Amino acid sequence: MIGTVLAMLLQAAAGDGYTPADRTDIPAAYQGHWALDAKYCSEPGPASVHIGPRQIDFYERHGFLDLAQLNQASDPPGFYGTFRWAELLHFSSGVVRLEMSTGKLLITEASDPDAPTNQVAWSKCAR
């Protein structure tokens, strides 16, 4: 509950500080509910993640997009974003890279754009 309230406060504070040039959203291909296995699509927990236009919500960790960059060389475009994270009463920031491979989502958290891709594959849920 506290984490949700803090996440809402961070999101509200972020809403007005952007110019139109900063408003690159996470591409629609990456948005939605994702899980490590279909059985986790209907259960909240650490094996699922929800991605919206400007946020990533893990089980108890919520990220709000500050800056974004697209790599147009891939289809869908590869996505790199700097996020502010709230996890219970802990706040941090970090870079996330989103990529697709054979219809699966790969989420890599690394500030180095050349860092190896995290090979944990997330499947898109029907909902």
Exposed/middle/buried for residue 7 (C-beta within 10 Å: 0-12, 13-18, 19+): buried
Rounded Cα distance between 124 and 29, Å, is 10
What pLDDT score does 21 carry? 44
In tens digits, what is the pLDDT along the chain, a chain of 127 residues? Answer: 455 544 454 454 444 454 444 568 999 999 999 999 999 998 878 999 999 999 999 988 999 999 888 888 777 878 999 999 999 889 999 999 999 999 999 999 998 878 899 999 999 998 6
Full domain range(s) for residue 61 = 2-14+23-124
Number of separate domains in the chain: 1
* pTM recorded for the entire structure: 0.78
